[in-house]
Structure 1
Amino acid sequence: MVVQAIQYSRFGDEEVLDLVNIKSDSLKVNQVRVEVYAVGLNPIDYKTFEGAKPLRFLSFMTKLRRPSRWFESKASLFPRGIGRDFAGVITEVGEGVSRFAVGDKVFGTMISDPGLGTKRGALATEICVNESEIVLKPEMIDMTHAATMGVASLTVGGAFRRIGLNSRDTVVISAAAGGIGSIAVQYAVAKGATVIGIASKKNAEYLKSLGAIPVSYEENIKKALLSASTTPITKFLDCYGSDYVRLAFSLGLKGTAIGTLVPSPYVMIKGAQFTGPRHSTYDDFRTLAEMVSDGKVQLKIDQVYNFSLKSVREAYRSLKMGHSRGKKVVKVRD
């Protein structure tokens, strides 16, 4: 069977992406075949096909831990698929699979080592994924919204577990109006924490609607943060990068109380927590799905694109510009 997929054969901007026809993969042990209905886009996607320096740094660190990978040729990196989050229907079950059956509606994300750790991609009409990368989709969540939950569930669940978020905390979240940040805000609020969200002034009312105290990055952030809440700031989750980890340290927080989704040598040297899916568990899939089903977390869709090369390139071009509320989704089939 012929599968349509978005791939790239060199690092670069969205113009390196191509829509190609490939052969259907054979199922491995503990895998299922999924007919893809929708794919949620994440910043990690374009950082991967651009070959971003932080991801190359993580790949270098992985090779230090796994010396056999030094013998991989550069050519073996390509071609590569793109996209991680997806929702769809299982059409075939492989040997060893125990939790799923043909016809099950599922959502999930393709999991890999930090960095440039996988050649697989969710932006395809059909994919083969591990049983550990999917969970049953609740009936009340449609495919488009379900496709936004994979990375978010593992990222937020893993990050808050790593920094030990609890109901007594006052947590600052940067990029709080974005696809991951807006879910992190609601997740923390649902856990009973006081949340201060950093975003642009135009997103202030939106953050209030999510339950956060808004602070604009267009002002003196440190001063604004210190005056935003009557309780001391105890935790910080950086969903953007740049100088936010330095800001967190300037607030008097220890590295164990600071989580960031963006790796850098500075973060590791100073002892802040590079976190996210690497500190997640399988139950994090279910936790977010339950929060969405119970109305504790609203999934905001910024825009839906069709499954064409022009449209996918446009989607990533827009995603890189930032300043969007919620997630961008590619609809593969109705």
Structure 2
Amino acid sequence: MRAVQFTEYGPPAVVHVADVPPPHAGPGEIRIAVRASGFSAGETRIRSGRLRDVVPAAFPFRTGFDAAGVVDEVGPGVTGTAAGDEVFGWTAMTARGAHAEHAVLVAWAAKPAAWTWAEAGGAAGTAETGTRVLDRLGVGPGHTVLVHGAAGGVGTVAVQLAAARGATVIGTASPANHAFLRSLGAIPVVYGEGLPDRVRPLAPDGVDAVFDTAGGALPDLIAVAGTPARVVTIADLTAAAHGVHMSHGSPSAAAGDPLAVHALALAAALADEGRLHIPIAATFPLEAAAAAHELSETRHARGRIVFVVS
């Protein structure tokens, strides 16, 4: 089968499609014929080697964490799911490999009818990340949350998840994305120098939590929150120096924050209610993997980048 991988750290050009043996479902797993698979900005940091101390790559390194498709193999012990079901979910973090014609999922939920394949393919990872961080921040009704990088793949979903919890959401983005953020339920604000002064009149009673999806602004984000304890980042590798928690999902609590498996059912329910949309920035075939990496590194993709498998 075709799968995206890289065999050395480097620029986007090191990413390529290879013919590899198809995986098979083990106990408690399912295999899907992939229809779409989400691309995460973290993939660019892994590929470049910037995360080699956190996510060391064993070459060849297969990319992709979340995917949607049609079940074609059910492992021992799996109940309630059968061949032919349409699902979305994620792979084992140690295996990855979702950017491929077939992928083995360890967590999944039924694909909402309201979502296209591209939306479903881009949903699991962003919903998990958004739910994991909002849970850690304790976001609930009546809170005010700032999402930094609110127009990106994780940011757009985090805005909607926070709003669904009854929170008031302020989102940073360029002016060109402000109308888009309003459509998602956020109060937009321009990022950059002077951010705390611009946020203050939007949240006269203060900001309860800050979710940083973009990086590069921790001093200002701490000033907005009033303390590093109310800031969580998924993107800024200088977090520890600022006393800020950097969240990365892990099956083991000792190695990171536990994966928010309940995010799948939550996302599906909100989608069925018309309260969760997965904005798609662009779609690419597997063979254009390098172009997907290049777009992600511009940091101007509005929504999720997704591979569509034909």
Q: TM-score, normalised by structure 1?
A: 0.85
Which range moves more in the overlay, 311-320 or 274-283? 274-283
User: What is the CA RMSD across the aligned residues, in angstroms?
Assistant: 1.9
Consecutive unaligned residues in structure 2, runs of 5 or more: 250-256
Shift of 1:106: 0.9
Shift of 1:128: 2.2
Q: Which residue of 2 aligns with 1:274?
A: 246
Q: Deviations for 1:190-221, whole angstroms, at most 9, x for unmatched residues? A: 21111111111211221122221111124521
Q: TM-score, normalised by structure 2?
A: 0.91
Q: Distance in 2 between the 1:327 and 1:31 partners?
A: 26
The question of 1:31 aligning with 2:29 is answered yes
Residue number among 171, 175, 178 corresponding to 2:149 in the alignment: 175
Q: Distance in 2 between the 1:312 and 1:269 partners?
A: 34
The question of 1:126 aligning with 2:127 is answered no
Which range moves more in the overlay, 298-307 or 77-86? 298-307
| Aligned residue identity for 2:269 | E
Contact 1:49 1:82 in 2 (8 A): no
Q: Deviations for 1:139-182, whole angstroms, at most 9, x for unmatched residues? A: 23221110011111110110000010011211111001111101
Q: Which residue of 1 aligns with 2:86?
A: 105
Q: Distance in 2 between the 1:256 and 1:99 partners?
A: 41
| Aligned residue identity for 2:294 | R
- Secondary structure, aligned partner of 1:23: coil
Consecutive unaligned residues in structure 1, runs of 5 or more: 61-73, 113-117
Residue number among 14, 34, 46 corresponding to 2:12 in the alignment: 14
Which range moves more in the overlay, 221-230 or 252-261? 252-261
Contact 2:233 2:246 in 1 (8 A): yes
Q: Which residue of 1 aligns with 2:282?
A: 303
| Aligned residue identity for 2:274 | G
Shift of 1:99: 3.6
| Aligned residue identity for 1:27 | A
Q: Distance in 1 between the 2:82 and 2:228 partners?
A: 44
- Secondary structure, aligned partner of 2:140: coil
Q: Which residue of 1 aligns with 2:227?
A: 254
| Aligned residue identity for 1:220 | G
Structure with the bigger percentage of helix:
1
Shift of 1:268: 3.0
Q: Distance in 2 between the 1:306 and 1:90 partners?
A: 21
- Secondary structure, aligned partner of 2:54: helix
- Secondary structure, aligned partner of 2:68: strand
Contact 1:159 1:279 in 2 (8 A): no
Closer/same/farther in 2, CA of residues 251 and 144 from structure 1, 3 Å limit: closer
| Aligned residue identity for 1:56 | R
Q: Deviations for 1:13-35, whole angstroms, at most 9, x for unmatched residues? A: 11111211111234322222211
Contact 2:132 2:259 in 1 (8 A): yes
Runs (4+) off by over 6 Å: none
Q: Distance in 2 between the 1:24 and 1:252 partners?
A: 47
Closer/same/farther in 2, CA of residues 330 and 252 from structure 1, 3 Å limit: closer
| Aligned residue identity for 1:107 | F
The question of 1:294 aligning with 2:292 is answered no
Contact 1:162 1:273 in 2 (8 A): no
Q: Percent identity?
A: 28
Contact 1:107 1:150 in 2 (8 A): yes
